[in-house]
Amino acid sequence: MFSAGAESLLHQAREIQDEELQRFCSRVSKLLQEDLGPATVDALQRLFLIVSATKYARRLEKTCVDLLQATLSLSTCSEQVQVLCAAILREMSPFSALTLSCDHMQNPHQLSLVASVLLAQGDRREEVRSVNQRIFAILESRQPEGPSLRPLLPVLSRVVGLAPGTLQEDQASLLSKRLVDWLRYARVQQGTSHSGGFFSTPRARQSGPITEVDGAVASDFFTVLSMGQHFTEDQWLNVQAFSMLQTWLLLSSPEGPGTADAEDRSELEGSTLSVLSAASAGRQLLPQERLRKVAFEYCQRLIEQSNRRALRKGDSDLQKACLVEAVRVLDTVCRQDPSFLYRSLSCLKALYGQLGTDAGSERALLPLAQFFLNHGAAAAVDSDAIYQHLFTRLPSERFYSTTLAFEVTRFCRDNLPLFDPHLLGLLKLSFPNLFKFLAWNSPPLTAELVALLPALVDAGTAVEMLHSLLDLPCLTAALDLQLRSSQMPSERPLWDTSLKIPGCLEAFRDLQFQPLFQHLLRTKASGSTERLVPLYQLLQPMASCARVVQCAQAVPTLLEAFFSAATQVADKALTNQLALLVLERSDVLYQVPQYKARVLRVLSSWFLALCKQKPSLVLELARELLELVGSMSNIQSRAEMFTCVVWAIGEYLSVTCDRRCTVELINKFFEALEALLFEVTQSRPSANLPRCPPQVVTVLMTTLTKLASRSQDLIPRVSLFLSKMRTLGQSPATSSVYSEEDVEAIRTRATELRNLLRMPSVAQFVLSPSAEESQCMAGPDMICSSHSFTGRGYP
């Protein structure tokens, strides 16, 4: 959020019309030609605000653009003016009137500004190559006392990332040599202060030694974790070199990570030759090999420095960030040169033992797990404890960290091909913990979990996982209570403080409800399920909490992904379990606004998909289906599921779909549905008997007709009832309930069905699918509009 003054300035900048802008450009052009003083700086600042305040590109006078480029190219121009000119030109990029060139520039700072404009053009005129050539020319010719190279390294890192193929072999070798020098040979004395006063003395300006984060004098080479009051040029280059080390190692490796050559060489990791370095073999190291060796030493020193107790919190945070990067660099070095593997294992094993002692250090667990995933088999290391920590303790204790949640989920998703059966089994059992990440951080994690779900679903976890997905909003509420009950307020993230829920907090601590909360917050799949209805009632005051509502919005998408995966692995028994669970849970959900309607839409469509996959479901679940269609309350509470069930009965309760189907069973379903249809069409709506949707009426008529075509003794009863339905609008019980359009649709369907029943043999052929048709006629895509009555389609 901006202050009121800033908002006012932005509004003025956006409202400036083209004519006024051109007049202002003329004034800027005049100032650039006459004077480069404070007035010019003020005008350039205003122009930058104007061109950057809108999403669309502003058009400036060609004269003004040319003068901006010319001013940026002036070596005598002040740094502030150059920065503003470059910023304005970048905001306008790409543009056709580009005349900038970096071919003869010697000043690194000026070159970095010009390069930023050139790289913003999109490489239409090979700007990336020209910037690359100029930077390496300065790197090659720079004298020790020359201008600072610090402004060039960020540009160089971007060039290497944009077009690594533009680097020639000699340039790659030169950069590797420079990185070695900057990483390994920065001085260990602090820089001198450039500020002095009348009373300052030479002794006061003398540089002291670099220290460690705990205040001890540094006893080894300088790193990014070395502390001091003032830093020298080579020390700043050391810090920048480490920031681009990982990227350069990946891009400059001849074989690259994960290539066939690297995999072949990994077979030697256990041999004596793999422990010998190239130096011990008596040959000079190549620049890339030398860089790997220095990177290895640098990272080992960082890990050692991370063990020290920092005096300031900022330095402690820096330790954790550097530790993460150091382990990633070691992983890259060991993949490119396996001879470093065994020297890395000892310090990394010790590192794991130290993780978790300080909040935030868990971030290093992910690159550590990645390292052992890449090298554990070759090094014969049992890293099971690391993965147990990653999949169990970490999500349970740090589920509220959005960054950590995303990184853990992405780690699992990206490394699935590398997981062995044991590790994959551990991941599947840990799905309740991964769902904690999802419950608390649903918007950024939904897409990641959708991609990961197919790997988590199997016959052993599918039923429990479906329960967990349906209870995900309830889990969000429970996690909120867990955080509110925490004894570490400094570690608790922000929540909705306006929500006052003392009753929920008391229930969370109540021993009576502890088993239910423990089941909901479990860390591993238990193989059992619990009815959480008491928790739904206790946590109802939290149903409107923004985080709970956000989570509820993600559940339908996750259910679609779950059923898509489950139907691929489900056998007949699991299909029965899933269908039965869908029926049971369709009326047992946490009451979040609009949640039930969205979930029922998904469950209904997938109930039809399960029936399509296994048509005998209707017969095998006959008792449960009869209970569902035998109650009027189900029409009101879950109308969409009720309609799908009635349609499935008419479609699949047939000897064609299951030879065990009998006339007695057809008659039993017929009588239940007939009584229900009579009740909804012949009775006035009331508080106890709410209005029945017209879709349900038409589906009931269609299903009764289908059942009668398979048991022809029922045809007279259906025909009589359908003839009465043609006078539906004349009944006082229905004339005030249904619109004319609804009444006409119901009459039309009744007429069509009655005409079919006049020819029983035709009706049986039309309304009863063959075995082949039953596999292709039904499914979640059969749900049509409420007045689509053609064929056997679902209305």
Cβ pair 152, 199 in contact under 8 A? no
Cβ pair 607, 584 in contact under 8 A? no
Of 485, 491, 774, 791, give the one whose Cα is nearest residue 648. Answer: 774
Dihedral sign from CA coordinates of 218, 219, 222, 225: negative
pLDDT beyond 60 at 257: no
Of 470, 467, 453, give the one whose Cα is nearest residue 569. Answer: 453
CB atoms within 10 A of CB 682: 12
Q: Which residues contact 332 (CB under 8 A, 6 or more apart)?
A: 246, 249, 250, 257
Indicate the range of 39-43, 415-419, 495-499, 577-581 predicted with least confidence.
495-499
Amino acid at position 557, single letter: T
Token couple for 290: 């030398």
pLDDT of residue 331: 93
Report which listed range, 165-174, 361-370, 557-566, 731-740, is most confident: 557-566
Q: What is the mean pLDDT of residues 732-745?
A: 72
The better pLDDT of the pair 713, 783 is held by: 713
pLDDT band at 210 (very low <50, low <70, confident <90, very high): confident
- Helix-, strand-, coil-residue percentages of the chain, each rounded to 5: 65, 0, 30
Q: What is the mean pLDDT of residues 270-280?
A: 42
The whole-angstrom separation of Cα 540 and Cα 538 is 6
pLDDT band at 198 (very low <50, low <70, confident <90, very high): very low
pLDDT of residue 446: 93
Note the helical H segments in 359-456: 365-379, 384-388, 394-398, 402-414, 421-429, 431-440, 442-456
CB atoms within 10 A of CB 32: 23
The better pLDDT of the pair 110, 474 is held by: 474
The secondary structure element, H or E, covering residue 416 is: none
pLDDT beyond 60 at 269: no
Beta-bridge mates of residue 217: 211
Q: What is the mean pLDDT of residues 92-98?
A: 77
Amino acid at position 646, single letter: V
pLDDT tens-digit readout, 482-532: 888 875 544 555 555 566 677 888 888 888 889 999 999 999 988 888 888
pLDDT tens-digit readout, 407-428: 999 999 999 999 989 999 999 9
Q: What is the mean pLDDT of residues 378-387?
A: 77
The whole-angstrom separation of Cα 778 and Cα 2 is 56
Token couple for 49: 């605000």
The whole-angstrom separation of Cα 735 and Cα 475 is 46
Q: Quickly list DSSP for 68-84.
A: HHHHHH-TTS-HHHHHH
pLDDT of residue 496: 59
pLDDT band at 736 (very low <50, low <70, confident <90, very high): low
The whole-angstrom separation of Cα 41 and Cα 45 is 6
Amino acid at position 556, single letter: P
Phi-psi region of 779 (alpha: psi -120 to 50; beta: other; left: phi over 0): left
Report which listed range, 75-89, 447-461, 749-763, is most confident: 447-461
pLDDT tens-digit readout, 619-651: 999 999 999 988 888 888 888 999 999 999 999
pLDDT of residue 685: 57
pLDDT beyond 80 at 312: yes
pLDDT band at 258 (very low <50, low <70, confident <90, very high): very low
pLDDT tens-digit readout, 50-67: 888 877 777 788 888 888
The whole-angstrom separation of Cα 133 and Cα 144 is 20
Q: What is the mean pLDDT of residues 648-663?
A: 89
pLDDT beyond 50 at 775: no
pLDDT band at 33 (very low <50, low <70, confident <90, very high): confident
For 648, the 3-state DSSP assignment is helix
pLDDT beyond 60 at 281: no
The whole-angstrom separation of Cα 391 and Cα 557 is 23
pLDDT of residue 656: 85
The whole-angstrom separation of Cα 437 and Cα 338 is 35
Phi-psi region of 582 (alpha: psi -120 to 50; beta: other; left: phi over 0): alpha
Cβ pair 119, 128 in contact under 8 A? yes
The whole-angstrom separation of Cα 497 and Cα 495 is 6
pLDDT beyond 90 at 168: no
Cβ pair 628, 618 in contact under 8 A? no
Of 570, 651, 581, give the one whose Cα is nearest residue 616. Answer: 651
Dihedral sign from CA coordinates of 599, 601, 604, 610: negative
Of 642, 554, 556, 559, give the one whose Cα is nearest residue 604. Answer: 642
The whole-angstrom separation of Cα 317 and Cα 359 is 10
pLDDT of residue 745: 85
Phi then psi for 227, rounded to 5 degrees? Answer: -110, 150
Percentage of the chain surpassing pLDDT 70?
Answer: 84
Token couple for 217: 């004098």
pLDDT beyond 80 at 276: no
pLDDT of residue 689: 55
In Å, the largest CA–CA distance within the chain is: 116
pLDDT of residue 785: 33
pLDDT beyond 50 at 259: no
The whole-angstrom separation of Cα 584 and Cα 694 is 24
For 718, the 3-state DSSP assignment is helix
Q: What distances in angstroms separate CA 85 from CA 24, 29, 40, 70, 91, one per listed residue?
A: 15, 12, 11, 9, 10
Q: Any idea which residue has 């049986």 for tokens?
A: 764
Q: Any idea which residue has 């290391």 for tokens?
A: 381
SS (H, E, C) 167-224: CCHHHHHHHHHHHHHHHHCCCCECCCCCCCCCCCCCCCCCCCECECCCCCECCCCCCC
pLDDT of residue 429: 93
The whole-angstrom separation of Cα 291 and Cα 281 is 18
pLDDT of residue 782: 37
The better pLDDT of the pair 694, 468 is held by: 468
pLDDT of residue 575: 93
Dihedral sign from CA coordinates of 24, 27, 33, 37: negative
pLDDT beyond 70 at 728: no
Cβ pair 245, 159 in contact under 8 A? no
Cβ pair 54, 14 in contact under 8 A? yes
Q: Which residues contact 637 (CB under 8 A, 6 or more apart)?
A: 587
The better pLDDT of the pair 602, 276 is held by: 602
The whole-angstrom separation of Cα 679 and Cα 711 is 23
The secondary structure element, H or E, covering residue 135 is: helix 127-141
The whole-angstrom separation of Cα 289 and Cα 293 is 6
DSSP category for residue 393: I
pLDDT of residue 282: 52
Token couple for 391: 């999949």
pLDDT of residue 779: 41
Q: What is the mean pLDDT of residues 293-303?
A: 94
pLDDT of residue 21: 82
Spell out the domains of the chain, with CATH numbers in brackets.
168-190+212-252+287-376 (no CATH), 382-488+500-613 (no CATH), 617-773 (1.25.40)
Kindly report the average pLDDT of the chain as a whole number.
Answer: 82
The whole-angstrom separation of Cα 772 and Cα 795 is 22
The whole-angstrom separation of Cα 176 and Cα 292 is 9
pLDDT of residue 271: 40
Strands (E), 180-263: none
Of 759, 749, 637, give the one whose Cα is nearest residue 699. Answer: 749
Token couple for 669: 């379903």
User: pTM of the full predicted structure?
Assistant: 0.82
Q: What distances in angstroms separate CA 432 from CA 137, 518, 602, one per listed residue?
A: 56, 12, 22
pLDDT beyond 70 at 453: yes
pLDDT beyond 90 at 293: yes
Token couple for 51: 């061109």
Angle 136-138-144 (CA atoms, 0-180°, nearest 5)?
125
pLDDT of residue 606: 95
Cβ pair 666, 707 in contact under 8 A? yes
The better pLDDT of the pair 310, 552 is held by: 552
Amino acid at position 551, single letter: C
